[in-house]
A = this chain, B = another copy of it.
Amino acid sequence: MGMIVQKFGGTSVGSIERIQHVADRVMSEVQKGHQVVVVVSAMGKTTNQLVDLAKQLTSQPSKRELDMLLSTGEQVSIALLAMALQEKGYAAVSLTGWQAGIKTETVHGNARIIDIDTTRIHQYLQAGQIVIVAGFQGVTEKGDITTLGRGGSDTTAVALAAALQADKCDIYTDVTGVFTTDPRYVKAAKKLEEISYDEMLELANLGAGVLHPRAVEFAKNYQVLLEVRSSMEEESGTTVKEDVSMEQHLIVRGIAFEDQVTKVTVQGLPHELPMLPTVFTALANRGINVDIIIQNTTNSGAAAVSFSIRTEDLPETLQVLESFKGAKIEYESQLAKVSIVGSGMISNPGVAAQMFQVLADKGIEIKMVSTSEIKISTVVSQENMVAAVEALHTAFQLDEKAAVRS
């Protein structure tokens, strides 16, 4: 008997029928003798509908009031799930973020959790109750409601698991686990039995989309054992933990990719302006997220810098850059980023060379490269994206059954 935190996303609680199904999932853990804390998101499209209401009133809603508005979505879900469990004969109680003691900084729309006072949750658990907590929300010291931003419910679940010293945190989602790459694009994609926090973090940041990076970081810091699994199917999912047993055998654990990438190159800035801080401070001030950055020196000795952005940010990026007198700007859109991730790279030199060779063999031109200890990213043209992923998936032995145990 132990304590489990379960998290169900918006799709999993998207209708009355699905909420009843979630109740079944919760009950099956209770029947095993576990204490269960459940974190839920807002039902289906609720959050978007609430944002639409606000947008009808103002193009720039106050973030405090937006948090006040959006936090109602999870409050509806927790009450309904509690009712569903009670109807099935189980003792359950719902708690909003503030009732669950989730204290955050005073940053509306994207608050970080500072502390969780678990007194009330513990009282209910000790009284034999299933505790249902609203994800994505907390409260400031002053008593204002905050939301945690994207992936906030994952973060709530992991933070609660850490604060309660739960044995496990199960993240229920609409896929059966973490895959070697996106199975919607690559048929050979395989579900991973295990993955390390660091690998998951790189995959999450690269847009694998299963788990929010903030939640993974939190789990790593507090060594919370995670399992990513399907809310619809019974099969076991992917465990995320510190040490992964197959690390030695599998150099590359997954391949992430995203399209809609644009490469921008700037040169010719006035000499009195230091190139890198000038450009990237200006972009950051406009909230433009820059990914890969490469500094070149041209033959003439003039400084040039290239970087990648999401294509949707291109118009604003050009606007920023054009404000610099004399700047010469080039850009190339319809690109994609393809990255291989694996902690095995640390002890295996030559992985980058192998990656480049695989792409070269397929006649795929590499337009940018960026590396970290456990990740190598390349930018290629969008039309080559899937071919690149497939070739790398095969070359790094991810197609093979041996790589996977599920």
Residue in B62, B82, B94, B96 whose beta carbon sits within 8 Å of that of A82 in the complex: B62
Instruction: Verify B53–A16 contact, CB threshold 8 A.
Output: yes
Q: Which of A68-76, A219-227, A240-248 lines the interface with chain B?
A: A68-76
Instruction: List 8 tightest A-B contacts by C-beta distance, closest first.
Output: A69-B79, A72-B72, A68-B79, A58-B87, A16-B56, A65-B82, A65-B79, A57-B83
Q: With A and B bound together, what is the CA distance between A220 and B86 in angstroms?
A: 41
Q: How many A residues touch the partner, as a band? A: 35 or more
**Contacting residues, chain B, for A66 (C-beta < 8 A):** 79, 83
Q: Which residue, A68, A80, A96, A99, has most C-beta atoms of chain B within 10 A?
A: A68
Q: A72-B72, A120-B143, A143-B120 are in contact. Are A83 and B54 (CB under 8 A)?
A: yes
Q: With A and B bound together, what is the CA distance between A93 and B67 in angstroms?
A: 12
Q: With A and B bound together, what is the CA distance between A98 and B348 in angstroms?
A: 58
> What are 25 A-B contacts with C-beta separation under 8 Å?
A16-B53, A16-B57, A20-B57, A50-B76, A53-B76, A53-B80, A57-B80, A57-B84, A58-B84, A58-B87, A61-B86, A62-B82, A64-B93, A65-B82, A65-B83, A65-B86, A65-B94, A66-B79, A66-B83, A68-B82, A69-B75, A72-B76, A98-B98, A99-B144, A120-B143
Instruction: Verify B99–A57 contact, CB threshold 8 A.
Output: no
**Contacting residues, chain B, for A75 (C-beta < 8 A):** 68-69, 71-72, 75
SS class, residues of chain A in contact with chain B? helix
A65-B94, A99-B144 known; 6 new pairs, CB 8 Å cut-off, are A54-B80, A58-B86, A65-B83, A68-B94, A71-B75, A72-B75
In chain A between 78 and 114, which residues have their CB closer than 8 angstroms to a CB of chain B? 78-80, 82-84, 86-87, 93-94, 96, 98-99
**Contacting residues, chain B, for A69 (C-beta < 8 A):** 75-76, 79-80, 83
**Contacting residues, chain B, for A26 (C-beta < 8 A):** none
**Contacting residues, chain B, for A87 (C-beta < 8 A):** 57-58
**A19 an interface residue at 8 Å Cβ cutoff?**
yes
Q: Which residue, A62, A75, A83, A120, has most C-beta atoms of chain B within 10 A?
A: A83
Closest Cβ neighbor of A66 among chain B residues: B79
**Contacting residues, chain B, for A83 (C-beta < 8 A):** 54, 57-58, 61-62, 65-66, 69
